[in-house]
Amino acid sequence: MADLNTRVSDFLWKNQDERHLTAKKDPFWEALRKTGTELWLDTGDMEEAEANWTAEMSALTTNNTLLNNEIQKGIYDVFIAEAKSIVRDLSPDERVKEIAFILNARHGLRLASKFGGYVSVELHTDTAHDIKAIEYYGKRFHEICPDQFIVKVPYTAEGLLGARRLKDAGVRINFTLEFSARQNVLVTRVARPDYLNVFLGRIGAFMIDNKLGDGSGAGEMAVIASQNWVTALSSKNPWQTKLIAASLRNHNQLELLAGADVFTMPPKVAASGRKTLKGKFSSRMHENYPVSMDEAAKGAGIENFWSVSDKVLTLAEKLATKVPATGAELVKIAHGEGCEDMFPMLSREEKAQIAADGKIPVYARWEKKIGEGKIAPDTLLNLAGLASFTSDQKALDDRIRGIIG
């Protein structure tokens, strides 16, 4: 295996000659940075990133979807063909997974070299429920570019434990696919990552698509509540965890959420904000935005996006005091503490339905289970997000198979 790692590392760095971009300062983004918010671009597209990158920006983040978008352009087809010889000793399935890892690392290196900031690189979705695989690939990403790579680990029971092992080993972690303050309380206490997230855009979309409200305020409240909890919990730790306001959908959120630790901005949102807003920013982390909810939202568990119950706090402390060895053990403890809706037991048919619905689950399918406390909207969005990434990962894997045979 050491020989494979050496071959992969040499292959990744071969002909890595991306020209570094000297970024210019921009008073608009400087004003937002002064509120305490780090500015990251959420894209894997080199041209999009270059068009929006300024000296005030410090990182780029990719994911399975964004990487797949780049791979499907065909720009790495020759690279994939050349990588075949590097993975010749692996089984067919492992060859595909290894080349997917190589592609993620190679594209991450290009972004790191060109822009000079941190780059979040994401694990293959097959590792989401495999602690050993999370640890194995996470450490390999770190070894390739320890000063700039941040490893993204998804919110699953195994993800919490795998991320904790990586963090204890000195790997910089971006814990991803969270949608609520209560999820982030668990993440802060158990995984102890450098960064964690609220994908706020999908919260509003969930309410709009399911006719539960106009979507206003809910995502913002989830971010502000998460920020306050994460800041408070981190103040007691020798390490610091920072909150990312992710999946921004509208440039107005740059003002509404100024002061959050980090923004990951899609280039279109960044460009729209730069063109439209006046650049008069101040921290809004103590706002209490009204959440517009229709009658149908009663009993829908929408408050779980920003509320943290005593049961969740008890669970977080129990897990942090004695970290479980397996995901199954963590889930059993969560159920015992009355938090079944955070780690539900789903049938194969239910999992297939979540995948079929796409990024935004259909509330009507889950209304009964939500009412019974067996699942919750933040959990549904997490499961849907992972299923969506899995679909895009499959498309990327299929392209690899088509090239290497």
With contact defined as beta carbons under 8 Å apart, do 121 and 62 qualify?
yes
pLDDT beyond 90 at 182: yes
pLDDT value of position 184? 98
For 59, list phi and psi in degrees, rounded to 5. -160, 165
Buried b (16+ CB within 10 A) or exposed e, 160-196: bbbbbbbbeeebbbbbbbbbbbbbbbbbbbbbbbbbb
Q: What is the DSSP string of 98-126?
A: HHHHHHHHHHHHHHHHHH-SEEEEE--GG
How do residues 17-27 score in pLDDT, each as one tens digit? 899 999 999 99
> What is the rounded distance in angstroms from the CA atom of residue 98 to the CA atom of residue 84?
10
How do residues 42-94 score in pLDDT, each as one tens digit? 999 999 999 999 999 999 999 999 999 999 999 999 999 999 999 999 999 99
For 385, list phi and psi in degrees, rounded to 5. -65, -45
Q: Name the 3-class secondary structure at 398.
A: helix
In this structure, what token pair is assigned to residue 275? 């063109």
In this structure, what token pair is assigned to residue 379? 């959990």
pLDDT value of position 237? 84
Helix H or strand E segment including 194: none
- Per domain, the residue ranges of the chain are 2-404
Find, among 23, 100, 93, 91, the residue nearest to 58 by Cα.
23
Least confident of 2-11, 185-194, 267-276, 312-321: 2-11
How do residues 324-360 score in pLDDT, each as one tens digit? 999 999 999 999 999 999 999 999 999 999 999 999 9
pLDDT value of position 247? 85
In this prediction, residue 2 has a pLDDT band, given cuts at 50, 70 and 90, of low
Domain 2-404 in CATH 3.40.50.2300: no
pTM comes to 0.97
pLDDT value of position 148? 98
For 391, list phi and psi in degrees, rounded to 5. -65, -45
Running DSSP on this structure, what letter comes out for residue 72? T
How do residues 205-249 score in pLDDT, each as one tens digit? 999 999 999 999 999 999 999 999 999 999 988 889 999 999 899
Number of H helices, E strands in the chain: 18, 8
Q: How far is CA 253 from the centre of its chain?
A: 18
With contact defined as beta carbons under 8 Å apart, do 149 and 275 qualify?
no
pLDDT value of position 239? 84
> What is the rounded distance in angstroms from the CA atom of residue 16 to the CA atom of residue 167?
28
Q: What is the DSSP string of 313-382?
A: HHHHHHHHHS--SSHHHHHHHHHHTT-GGGS----HHHHHHHHHH-SS--HHHHHHHHHTTS--HHHHHH
Find, among 286, 16, 300, 319, the residue nearest to 185 by Cα.
319
In this prediction, residue 16 has a pLDDT band, given cuts at 50, 70 and 90, of confident
What percentage of the chain reaches a pLDDT higher than 70?
A: 100
* DSSP bridge pairs for 59: 40, 118
pLDDT beyond 70 at 1: no
Find, among 266, 155, 262, the residue nearest to 201 by Cα.
266
How do residues 121-166 score in pLDDT, each as one tens digit? 999 999 999 999 999 999 999 999 999 999 999 999 999 999 999 9
Mean pLDDT of 245-266: 97
Q: Name the 3-class secondary structure at 192.
A: coil
> What is the rounded distance in angstroms from the CA atom of residue 301 to the CA atom of residue 157?
21
N-terminal to C-terminal alpha carbon distance within the chain: 23
> What is the rounded distance in angstroms from the CA atom of residue 258 to the CA atom of residue 4?
45
With contact defined as beta carbons under 8 Å apart, do 388 and 359 qualify?
yes
What percentage of the chain reaches a pLDDT higher than 90?
A: 96
With contact defined as beta carbons under 8 Å apart, do 343 and 375 qualify?
no
With contact defined as beta carbons under 8 Å apart, do 182 and 378 qualify?
yes
pLDDT value of position 238? 85
Average pLDDT, the chain: 97
pLDDT value of position 236? 85
Residues with Cβ within 8 Å of 88's Cβ and at least 6 positions away in sequence, in order, are 95
